[in-house]
Structure 1
């Protein structure tokens, strides 16, 4: 089944590019060309110029990025930094700034600013871990290192880094 679905990756890529141009050119959203997002992401069109997504960031499926609060009459900029990953079904509220190299857990409701190089999750989102190292699209730098090699490096340096 997966093999047959791989035949349609070109179609997904085409649709994502079309949606990117729709958001940036028609609505005026500030999304970096290297940022990637799911087709089901929901970006607030009430104040579209308030959405900023940094380079090499990934926004997963069913994420809602909001820029307005109709009940209070607020219109705020919502910013996602560089090299971030926003987990599935998360909600980013108006006026929130997520720093560079952050990972936001699935289903999180981000109500306050998140500093750079952090993992945050929950409702409301709280910082779980700080000073993390991630690469493009919020991927952990040690994710591709074999377990034995990682353990040897930890013994050598005298650190005990938990698996993330």
Structure 2
């Protein structure tokens, strides 16, 4: 019985470590984007979703993809539109439905942000080599509920 409690406790501590690492990394990236690029992580996430899709996306689909409310997505899109990085277009068949997409300027700006973001993440995890990353990925895949597609690892 004590082995089960001990293992349970170790799993809990591991989860707490993972949570701390995630929060610290996210906080660092938020500050990096704010200071170096005068933008926010939510704006980056919206731009990333639009960049991945290449074609206009319905606002409702964007909200669902990002797991945020329509109101949150609308506010972020509004600021991106003011910057000239996104356009909103009503769908002709249903004027209540709005599609959004990156402008050419927004796409170029996102590519700058994405390269800087990748470089900063690379610095955060510079202590890991290929073998370490493979081991970590494999271990994390063992966790129940991991449904991420790691096909490009």
TM exceeding 0.5: no
State the TM-score bracket (shorter-chain normalisation).
under 0.3
The structure whose residues are more often strand, as a share, is 1
Higher Cα Rg, which structure: 2
Higher helix share: 2
RCO comparison, higher one (Cα < 8 Å, 6+): 2
Length-normalised TM-score, structure 1: 0.22
